[in-house]
Amino acid sequence: MDITKRPIKARGRRNVYCPHYRACLDYAISESWDVWKCGECEYMSVKEPREEIFYRNEGTVAYYSLSQEVI
């Protein structure tokens, strides 16, 4: 864990826009923390825009057909 990234095991605020959010989340998971916050991280106030993910679902049916074996 880099010195500039400082996740703390405590309930609090997290910055999902931080460029290191994923690394801190992975660290919190590896330490089995049930809660965590960004703490005194220098990236706490960074709000860089994230790339928008477009998902297009084609050819779907509005309902599911179940066989009689399942019902």
Domain carrying residue 43: 1-71
Residue 13, pLDDT score? 86
Residue 30, pLDDT score? 94
Residue 70, pLDDT above cutoff 60: no
Counting beta carbons within 10 angstroms of the beta carbon of residue 29, is it exposed (0 to 12), middle (13 to 18) or buried (19 or more)?
exposed
If one counts the domains in the chain, the total is 1
Instruction: List pLDDT tens digits, range 4-56.
Output: 677 899 998 888 888 888 889 999 999 999 999 988 888 777 776 555 556 66
Two tokens, residue 22: 């994923």
